[in-house]
Amino acid sequence: MKVLKIDGGKTLSGTIRISGAKNSSVALIPAAILADDEVTICNVPEITDTDALTEILEYLGADVKRASESILINPTTIENKEIPKELSTKLRASYYFMSALLGKYKYVEMYFPGGCNIGARPIDQTLKSFRALGATIEEKDNRYKIYADELIGAHIYLDMPSVGATINAMLASVKAKGETIIENAAKEPEVVNVAIFLNGMGAKITGAGTSEIRIKGVDVLKGCYTEVIPDRIEAGTYIIAGALVGSNLKIDNIIPEHVEMLILKMKEMGVKMEIGPDYVVVSKTDNLKPIKIKTQGYPGFATDLQQPITTLLTQCEGISVLEETIYENRFQNVAYLNKMGANIEIDNKKIKVVGKTELNGTEVEATDLRAGACLVLAGLLANNTTKIKNIEHVLRGYENIVEKLSDVGAAIELIEE
Ligand code: EPU
């Protein structure tokens, strides 16, 4: 079993360069299927989630070449066959293959996707969009067969601005006949990244990044080149690390606007930061003020940063309150933070963090990706040694985390136990 061992209390200084966004890459790789020629996706992080999707592409027969930081995908050799259960249940994002294959071939067979255990994660909004476009869906024991004679543009209202459903609706409708309008669409930068990629292929998508996206169907999508945006959640995680143990720690290659909600909340706490055009420099600050946080869709406070920032809330002088509105099971990090010395109470969808508390290294477990990130941050701050089990969750989403943190002064290593 892989365990992450951290000797805490080291000061971090220097520069951490942010990788391409996981949640963009995991949509762009399946979206490549829609092209009728080779596409190049640049700045793709090497993490196990992108590996898992590449494996699906190769299983389907695409020619995939990994160059440093980029992936070249030639989808013209693809055979549209059923994606086996063990491949689709590895991660949530496998369901982008549902919409990409449906959009291109009007037929797809695959299983319900996997993903972190952070709450119920239905796919009803995605399926509703497929039906609105004219598809028939047969489901038995989580195995889906989805097909249509033709897909026809439709007016779709999403019951919640789901990132996954918005991207799926775009991928399924980009080659449909006529116009599709997605109302109450997710506004996350990753949705925009996917729309730019599709438009590069010749799609006609407008409004991505707002709550109304319009897609005029086209017959042919050509090859193109696109770039993955910087990972705002990775950036946010390291910005928080800087506030915990940084001394002029520079988080570089970011789009500051994408982490604005985090920066503004950290300013409310009193964290010392310098914001540049594509970087943030951050240092450990004493006498942090407690704050209130509520997670929301973009541009609100990202649920994916909720667990990481909890570590920082333990260092505020007083009571902070954090409300999670997206996932009902995203507090599994709390028991481990308390084991390390934090004073946090869970009350339904809220947690109350009483600070400031000293954190002490011990054995903890990454129950999911961002819970793991929260514990890495806690380990960097804590006295003595922290060992994090189930670290595979973290490796799914943070490229070269051990190297990046070691390079700025952390005492961190992956060990086998
Ligand atoms: N929801 C439904 N029905 C649906 C879709 C979503 O009820 O058909 C609900 C979910 O139960 C949840 C909420 O809507 O309560 C949000 O779900 P969403 O579909 O937005 O999540 P997702 O697309 O599955 C992506 C990211 C998540 C991130 C969320 C919110 C990917 C692969 N995953 O998930 O990332 O938390 O958006 O921003 O892009 C992570 O990186 O750790 C992670 C979990």
Shortest CA distance to 314 belongs to which of 283, 280, 348, 337?
337
For residue 103, is pLDDT > 90? Answer: yes
Residue pLDDT, tens place only, 111-146: 888 877 887 788 999 999 999 999 999 999 889 999
CA of residue 259 to ligand 1 center, whole Å: 18
Q: Is the pLDDT of residue 68 over 90?
A: no
Say which of 116, 224, 316, 374 is annotated catalytic: 116
- 235 dihedral zone (left: phi>0; alpha: psi -120 to 50; beta): alpha
- Please tell me the predicted confidence (pLDDT) of residue 245: 98
Query: Percentage of the chain surpassing pLDDT 70?
Result: 100
Q: What is the pLDDT averaged over residues 303-315?
A: 98
Ligand 1 center from residue 121 Cα (angstroms): 7
H or E segment at 306? helix 306-313
Instruction: Tell me the average pLDDT across 368-380.
Output: 97
* 403 has pLDDT over 80: yes
Does 94 or 291 have the greater pLDDT score?
291
Rounded distance from Cα 163 to ligand 1 centre (Å): 6
Report residue 232 as tokens: 């705002």
Domains (ranges, CATH) in the chain? 2-18+230-416 (3.65.10.10), 22-227 (3.65.10.10)
Count CA within 13 A, CB hemisphere, residue 285.
22
The CA distance from 305 to 302, in Å, is 5
Mean residue pLDDT of the chain comes to: 96
**For 340, phi and psi rounded to 5 degrees?**
-85, -5
CB atoms within 10 A of CB 220: 10
Span 42-69, average pLDDT:
93
Measured torsion, CA atoms of residues 278, 284, 290, 295, in degrees rounded to the nearest 10: 30
In 3-state terms, what secondary structure has residue 256? helix
Q: Tens digits of per-residue pLDDT, 148-203?
A: 999 999 999 999 999 999 999 999 999 999 999 999 999 999 999 999 999 999 99
Site to probe by mutation for ligand 1, drawn from 184, 191, 305, 326 as the one with most ligand atoms within 8 Å of Cβ, is 326
Which residue has the least CA distance to atom 15 on ligand 1?
326
What gap in Å lies between CA 123 and CA 167, rounded to an integer? 12
pLDDT of residue 253: 98
pLDDT of residue 294: 98
User: Looking at the predicted structure, is the pLDDT value of residue 5 above 90?
Assistant: yes
What pLDDT, on the 0 to 100 scale, is given for residue 33?
96
Q: Is 305 helix (H, G, I), strand (E, B) or coil?
A: helix
Helix (H) or strand (E) holding 388: strand 385-389
Q: What is the pLDDT of residue 112?
A: 87
Task: Give residue ranges with CB within 6 A of ligand 1.
Answer: 23, 26, 92-93, 116, 120-126, 160, 162-165, 303-304, 326-327, 369-370, 397
pLDDT for 67 equals 87
Q: Quick check: 330 pLDDT over 90?
A: yes
Mean pLDDT across 289-310: 98
| 222 pLDDT more than 80 | yes
Reported confidence tier of residue 292, pLDDT bands at 50, 70, 90: very high
Give the Cα separation of 147 and 131 in Å (integer): 10
Q: Which of 61-75, 209-223, 331-345 has the lowest mean pLDDT?
A: 61-75
What the block records as the tokens of 246 is: 């940084």
Does the pLDDT at position 106 exceed 80? Answer: yes
Amino acid at 366: A
Provide φ and ψ at 255, rounded to 5°: -110, 100
Q: Look at strands 363-365 and 385-389 and give their pairing.
A: parallel
Average pLDDT over residues 63-84: 93
316 labelled catalytic: no
Query: pLDDT digits over 14-25, tens only?
Result: 999 999 999 999
Is pLDDT at 311 greater than 90 in this prediction? yes
pLDDT score of 69 more than 90: no
Distance, in Å, from the CA atom of 372 to the CA atom of 387, rounded to the nearest integer, reads 11
Radius of gyration of the chain (CA): 21
Between vectors from CA 115 to CA 7 and to CA 212, what angle results, nearest 5°?
A: 115
